[in-house]
Structure 1
Amino acid sequence: MATLERLRKEMSDLIPEFFRQCRAADENRLAEYNAAVVIQSWFRGSRVRAHLRHLNRMVNVIQKWWRGYLARKYFRNKVKTAYFIMKMNFYNDMAVRIQKMWRGYYVRKYVHNYYALKKYLEGVAIKNSLVRKELEEYATMREKEKLKQDLEKEERRKNYEARKMHYLLSTEQVAGVFNSPYRQYPDEMEFRLQRARPLSHRDLPKKSNDSDGFVDWSDCRHPFSFPTTSLLPPINKKKPQGPFRDVGEVLQQRYKPLEPTLKVATSFTSVEEAREEIKRQEWAKGFQDVMFAPFASFHKNKPYEPLIHTSTEYKRIPYGNQNFRVEEATKWVTKKRASAFG
């Protein structure tokens, strides 16, 4: 019973202490919670930072080993490629040397044989002399033929001139111009006129063997500004009857240039083209009668003030041949002294 009484006395003091401790714990709970959070955050941050440092060291090690592996692999490939190129260059040089020696031997033995080449050159020299001799003979023959042709052509021309000037032949009563009485012998043309047959006016002015193209067009009735063509033979042997125009006039009308009418020469779209050209000219040279208003607040009755340097026209002044704008002080917008601008 004594013990129970003693416990009752202690319990009477313990309950208020319990409540006091509970109130103190409630009051310090927030501070203790914040302190615990700070301690936990610091501890966890330390662990995380240590883990990150460990991971960084491991990553550096892995990258170091991997980059070393790639570099050694690239270096081995480069060495292998350089070695292959060196071997190929060496083999090519050896092949070139072998080909050079073989080709030199083959050419010296079979292609450029000294004695065969000497014999060939001697044959070429002999053949050259023969060809040159034949060419000289051919050139001499050609010159003689050309000289003969020129002489024959000159002879034909003189014969044609003699036929044309047959009216200058001397008669028994009157001596010709080529038979001067003051000369001992007559001129060569006098004997040629005696042998030549007179040129008839009925002979057509065409190229023939006796004239060789030496035709005098001065007294011909046919103009030669158009190509001359040979005339077709008549249907009948007799001369055709009836009014026929001159051959030269017919040919001139046939070969005259084309002169189309205005309807043919004018384009079908000439009206549309003219309208487009007028529109382009109006667009290029058009002007506006409405005064330009630079701002929205521009008053309609307020006149447009021109610039100072564009208010006058270009005029010639006696200071040279250049054109300058004349300054008029009466039209200045600002108040400036006339002496400042001369």
Structure 2
Amino acid sequence: MATLVRVQRKLDVIKDEYFNRHRLADENRRKEYNAAMKIQSWIRGCKVRSHIRFLHRKAKVIQKIWRGYIGRKHFRATLKTAYFIMKMNFYNEMAVRIQKRWRGYYVRKFVFNYYVLKKYLKGLVIKNEIVRQELAEFAEMKQREKEKKNLEEEEDKKNYLAQKMHYLLSTEQIPGVFNSPYRSLPDEMELRLQLARPLSHRVHVLKKETGEGIDTSFSFPPLKPVPPIDKKKIQGPFRDTAEVLQQRYKPLVPTLRVATSITSVQEARKEFKREEWRNRLNDNVFLPFSNVLKNNQYPASLLLSSKYSQNPYGTKYFREEKKEKQITDKDFQRVFTSVHLFDKFGLTYSKTGHVV
């Protein structure tokens, strides 16, 4: 009971102390909250920076290993190429040496062999002497034949002249022109006239008609007629002559590219537009204003609606973007397996930085 009385006496003091303590707590609460936020942000920043430094070190290790692998791979490829080029140069040099030795041997043995060439020249000299002797004998033979032919021609001329002048032969009563009484011996022509037979007129005309008795010593000998060509069909898959001539001289048939103009398509389109405007096909554009035809749609022009025609200028954008094709619901598929360390990236962050 005494304790309760003492407490009641100190109630005002307790209330004042309680009020003062709550007032001090309210005054320090904001400072403590700001201090706590600073401490938390500093600790979290240290953790994030430490984690980023850790990731940077691991990324450097990965880049170092990958770049080392790429460098070694490139070095191996370069070394392999250089080794291949070195081998090819060595092989080419060895091949050149082999070819040089073989060509030198071949030239010395077969092309510029001294003994073989000397033997060949010696045989060539002997062969030339033989050919020269044969040519001399042939020229002498041709000269004898020519002299003999000339003598025969002169003899034939004299005999023909003697036959032609047979009327100048001497008789028992009257001496001839070539049998002069003042000569000891008669002339040579007189003897020819005695041996020759006179030419008759019929035989002379016959010889002129047939070409005999004419001096042809300086003309080519008559040639025999050429035998007729055998018209038997040649064996083989040959076409008929008329068919070949028809194909060779067939009339000109120009192609569509040559027969038509270059601007035939554009001209046809312009003509089609003029024909469409001339026939008043565009009157259907006023049909929707009518109550009866308000549900009807205007029929598009064939020139603009056909899929085989070219769209006119201005109906299509030159840089048309289809963004619906750039958005997809599928996640990015990685080709390589993921690194376990990278899967944890961002999971330790708070939602304050909107990283998670």
Which bin holds the TM-score, normalised by the shorter protein? 0.3 to 0.5
Q: TM-score, normalised by structure 2?
A: 0.32
Q: TM-score, normalised by structure 1?
A: 0.33
